[in-house]
Amino acid sequence: MRAWIGMIGLLCAFGASAAPKIAVTDLAYEARVEEYIHQVSASNNFQASSHHASGASNYSEYESRTSYIEQTELRKFSGDIKGEILKSRQFQLVQGTPYTADAKGDVYDVIKRIKAGNFKGADYVLFGTLSDIDFTQDINALDHTNSYSAVLGLTLVADFSLINTRTYEITSAFTAMGEGQDTKLVNSRDVRVSLNRPRVVKEVSKALGADVARQLAEQLGGGYQDPGQPPLRNNLPRDEAPKILR
């Protein structure tokens, strides 16, 4: 009997010390997709002999413009967010069911998705929605030279909420940004300049992950600190109360 009580106690202690499980969604976004179709077909048929001539011509035009709103998830930028969360050792990661084209329902309706069991086993869901993403490509002249600098930049801003899957309480919420750019010096003799797009994407992902981890730590109070004490902003040792030696 005692052994059983001991084992149950141990199991309880283990359960209490395990880090909460978190599922990270890909960045949800909505895009307006437009389709424009313009079809023209024309045929001409003419027959002539010495006694008889006939001709027929046919022309048809079809034009259609449809637009619809597509909801999906941007899958490229969540890897580094997960990596940084793992590094912080505050959470255990759980993979949720991704939102695919077959999925019914609203990608933004996270409560419905939690209820539908898309994040099974997770205590928290880090729900991210894409606010804005923008590629910029510039060529700037450099003074007193005949060179130019070609810049390819990408900026991504996403909005995050950390939602408790049981109570739907938002434990922390913030906007995170990732920025990256590739710069090349270009001469007038360069025929073609190709900027490194994958590297820019990787840089953005890395910066976004770091920003998310930083803001999460800021709002949840950092790694292993007691909730009563303010989080440390640097690596300095914690302050100690004065002691009077006599």
Partner 1 sequence: MRHFILGALALVLLAGCATPPPPEPGSAASKIVVMGKFKGIAVGAIRVARENGFLTAKVQLSNITSSNQTMYYRFAWLGADGFPVGDEETWKVLSLYANQATFLPAIANLPQAADFRLEVKTP
Q: Which of 2, 246 has the CB closer to partner 1?
A: 246
- Take residue 143 and report the two structure tokens written for it: 């003074």
CA distances from 139 to 142, 151, 182, 198 (A): 10, 6, 12, 19
Site for partner 1 in 10-39 (CB under 8 A): none
233 phi, psi to nearest 5 deg? -100, -10
Task: Check binding of 242 to partner 1 (CB under 8 A).
Answer: yes
Task: Check binding of 237 to partner 1 (CB under 8 A).
Answer: yes
Task: Check binding of 228 to partner 1 (CB under 8 A).
Answer: no
Q: Binding pattern to partner 1, positions 182-221, x when CB under 8 A?
A: ----------------------------------------
Task: Check binding of 246 to partner 1 (CB under 8 A).
Answer: yes
Q: Which of 48, 245 has the CB closer to partner 1?
A: 245
Q: Are 81 and 206 contacting, i.e. CB atoms less than 8 angstroms apart?
A: no
- Using DSSP's 3-state secondary structure scheme, residue 69 falls into strand
Q: Least CB distance from residue 210 to partner 1, whole Å?
A: 24
Q: Which of 44, 235 has the CB closer to partner 1?
A: 235
Stretch that binds partner 1, among 91-99, 135-143, 152-160, 235-243 (CB under 8 A): 235-243
Q: Number of residues interacting with partner 1: please give it, by CB under 8 A.
A: 12
Exposed / middle / buried, residue 41 (Cβ in 10 Å: 0-12, 13-18, 19+): exposed
Task: Check binding of 3 to partner 1 (CB under 8 A).
Answer: no
Place of tokens 């992902």: 205
Q: Which of 69, 244 has the CB closer to partner 1?
A: 244
Q: Which residues lie closer than 8 Å to 103 by C-beta, 6 or more apart?
A: none
Q: Which of 185, 232 has the CB closer to partner 1?
A: 232
Q: Are 171 and 163 contacting, i.e. CB atoms less than 8 angstroms apart?
A: yes
Taking the chain, what is the end-to-end CA distance rounded to the nearest angstrom? 55
Binding residues for partner 1 (CB under 8 A): 234, 236-246
